[in-house]
């Protein structure tokens, strides 16, 4: 199966966001990846709902919303108002993850959970049958353009094994340092969805790069 591609608009030109959203609309991308940061859970701040309202209006691709914030459950109504396809929360940010996942599903969105590089795949054992997708962070979250952490490949293999063993239907997504080379290795390891920021938006031809990632 061809991977799903989710370009991360964190690496887009914020002074001309409409142009980059239009590029994603016209491309082979499956989703648009939206990184929301709060400067508390991660050491950076990206953009908030006033900006995303316009992104949501322009995007024809389903929104894949990755919340790198504390207490993400507080923002379920705001993410829902964007018309998001996926609402993705961090394992490390949710004391009551099971409840948050149910709340996201009850709001009519697909619930996903992200694990940071130091969080073991085995911690997902009791939630794997409740989530639409698991995101394995292959860098420490907060910034685009970082170097891929090679151990992430082992985590993708472990997650594939957990999904197969439990009969879960969860998709495996990877985010951070994804390019043509790491993307290929990730798909071989069992990834279903690739997020890429820098590799797409800093390429000479972003649309062609999306096409190439899709063809991996
Ligand atoms: C990082 C974000 C990523 C980021 C990836 O914290 O979650 O989505 O945009 O950027 P690249 O692909 O440049 O590593
Ligand atoms: Zn992300």
Q: Residue 103 pLDDT > 90, yes or no? A: yes
Mean residue pLDDT across the chain: 98
2 or 97, which is more confident: 97
Q: The CATH number of the domain where 41 resides is what?
A: 3.20.20.70
Residues 6+ apart with CB under 8 A from 2: 214, 215
What does the pLDDT read at residue 198? 98
Percent of the chain with pLDDT strictly greater than 90:
99
What does the pLDDT read at residue 4? 98
Q: Cα angle at 101 between 147 and 190, to 5 degrees?
A: 40
- How many structural domains compose the chain? 1
pLDDT digits (tens, 9 = 90+) for 129-142: 999 999 999 999 99
**CA 182–ligand 1 middle distance (angstroms):** 14
Report the alpha-carbon distance of residue 39 to residue 32 in Å, rounded. 22
Q: Residue 110 pLDDT > 80, yes or no? A: yes
Average pLDDT rounded to a whole number, residues 188-204: 98
pLDDT digits (tens, 9 = 90+) for 54-83: 999 999 999 999 999 999 999 999 999 999
Average pLDDT rounded to a whole number, residues 81-106: 98
Q: Please, which pLDDT band fits residue 169 given cuts at 50, 70 and 90?
A: very high
Residue that is written with structure tokens 């790069």 in the block = 209
Report the alpha-carbon distance of residue 141 to residue 43 in Å, rounded. 8
**Closest atom of ligand 1 relative to the 196 alpha carbon:** 12
Q: Residue 120 pLDDT > 90, yes or no? A: yes
The model's pTM is 0.98
For the Cβ of 3 lying below 6 angstroms from any atom of ligand 1, the answer is no
Q: Which domain holds residue 159?
A: 4-214
For the Cβ of 183 lying below 6 angstroms from any atom of ligand 1, the answer is no
Around ion ligand 2, residues with a beta carbon closer than 5 Å are: 35, 66, 175
Average pLDDT rounded to a whole number, residues 85-111: 98
For the Cβ of 61 lying below 6 angstroms from any atom of ligand 1, the answer is no
pLDDT digits (tens, 9 = 90+) for 5-62: 999 999 999 999 999 999 999 999 999 999 999 999 999 999 999 999 999 999 999 9
DSSP symbols for 61-129: SPEEEEEESSSGGGGHHHHHHTT-SEEEEEGGG-TTHHHHHHHHHHTTSEEEEEE-TTS-GGGGTTTTT
Report the alpha-carbon distance of residue 29 to residue 201 in Å, rounded. 13
End-to-end CA distance of the chain: 10
Three-class SS state of 163: helix
Q: Please, which pLDDT band fits residue 1 given cuts at 50, 70 and 90?
A: confident
For the record, the structure tokens of 118 come out as 């130091």
């Amino acid at each position: 199966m061809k991977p799903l591609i989710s370009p991360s608009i964190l690496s887009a030109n914020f002074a001309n966001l409409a142009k980059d959203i239009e590029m994603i609309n016209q491309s082979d991308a499956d989703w648009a990846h939206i990184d929301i940061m709060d400067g508390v859970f991660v050491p950076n701040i990206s953009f908030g709902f006033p900006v995303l309202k316009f992104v949501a209006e322009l995007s024809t691709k389903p929104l894949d919303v990755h919340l790198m914030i504390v207490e993400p459950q507080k923002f379920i109504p705001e993410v829902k108002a964007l018309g998001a396809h996926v609402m993705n929360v961090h394992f490390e940010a949710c004391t009551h993850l099971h409840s948050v996942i149910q709340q996201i599903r009850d709001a009519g969105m697909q619930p996903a959970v992200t694990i940071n590089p130091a969080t073991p795949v085995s911690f997902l054992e009791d939630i794997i049958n409740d989530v639409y997708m698991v995101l394995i962070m292959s860098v420490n979250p907060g910034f685009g353009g970082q170097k891929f952490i090679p151990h992430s490949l082992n985590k993708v293999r472990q997650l594939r094994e957990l999904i197969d063993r439990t009969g879960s239907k969860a998709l495996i997504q990877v985010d951070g340092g994804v390019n043509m080379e790491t993307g290929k290795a990730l798909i071989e390891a069992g990834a279903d969805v690739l997020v890429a920021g820098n590799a797409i938006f800093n390429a000479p031809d972003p649309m062609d790069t999306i096409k190439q990632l899709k063809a991996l």
